[in-house]
Amino acid sequence: MAQIKAKAPGIVKELKAAVGDTVKAGTVVVVMEAMKMAMPLPSPVDGVIKAIKFETGARVNPGAIIMEIE
């Protein structure tokens, strides 16, 4: 199982996939905002979104697991 983790403290600005969606490696699945800059987070693997831990607008700390892909 792969995990999408926050790389810096920030806000989840956009979720580009939902639970059950199939994604390809390299596809941006989450956009975070940190220090007024957008940070796209791509899927590291081909797979299916199994869980989303935060909603849009949520504040996250570095290392927080935002999404799980199986």
**DSSP code of 14?**
E
Do 43 and 16 contact (CB within 8 A), yes or no? no
pLDDT surpassing 90 at residue 38: yes
Rounded distance between C-alpha atoms, residue 53 and residue 56, angstroms: 10
Q: Please, what are the domains in the chain? A: 2-69 (2.40.50.100)
pTM above 0.75, yes or no: yes
Do 42 and 60 contact (CB within 8 A), yes or no? no
pLDDT for the residue numbered 11: 97
Comparison of pLDDT for 61 and 35, the residue scoring more: 61
